[in-house]
Amino acid sequence: MPSENEWNGFRQKAFRRHSVLKTFQSKGYAMNPATADIAQCIEQNLNQYFKDLNGTEPCGVYDMVLHQVEKPLLVCVMEQCGGNQSKASVMLGLNRNTLRKKLIQHGLL
């Protein structure tokens, strides 16, 4: 069972996520319902992952999730940008060199 500090961390993240969404909406950015579906999908899969562990203590979950999400994100963005790394880096909000490093790490270059 998570400690009180861990629950506070969950609450804080949820509050931050809600604040970010409200900020986007207040600035007139359209919030695609698919965005919520992505978060819900990740949450459901993580809950199932923890359930499947049957009490085994997980390790490295943060890096595991980032690695699993990052590659399809990079593939989709690169496709949307026609392979143009400069456009993709702007779309992702990453430095172009950082994008190249990530593409290489995931075997996409």
pLDDT tens-digit profile of 27-53? 555 556 566 678 888 888 888 999 999
103/65: higher pLDDT: 103
Q: Where are the domains of the chain?
A: 1-31, 33-109
Tell me the range of 18-32, 35-49, 56-70, 80-94 where mean pLDDT is highest.
80-94
Report the SS3 class of residue 66: helix
- For residue 55, give Cα distances in angstroms to 27, 49, 52: 44, 11, 8
Q: What is the distance between the alpha carbons of residues 9 and 15, in angstroms, rounded to a whole number?
A: 10
Average pLDDT, the chain: 81
For the chain, percent of residues with pLDDT exceeding 90? 46
Q: What angle do CA 66, 16, 69 make, to 5 degrees?
A: 15
Asked whether residue 1 carries a pLDDT value surpassing 50, the answer given is: no
Q: What angle do CA 77, 79, 83 make, to 5 degrees?
A: 95
Asked whether residue 105 carries a pLDDT value surpassing 90, the answer given is: yes
For range 11-25, the mean pLDDT: 58
Q: Output the CATH code of domain 33-109.
A: 1.10.10.60
pLDDT at 67: 87
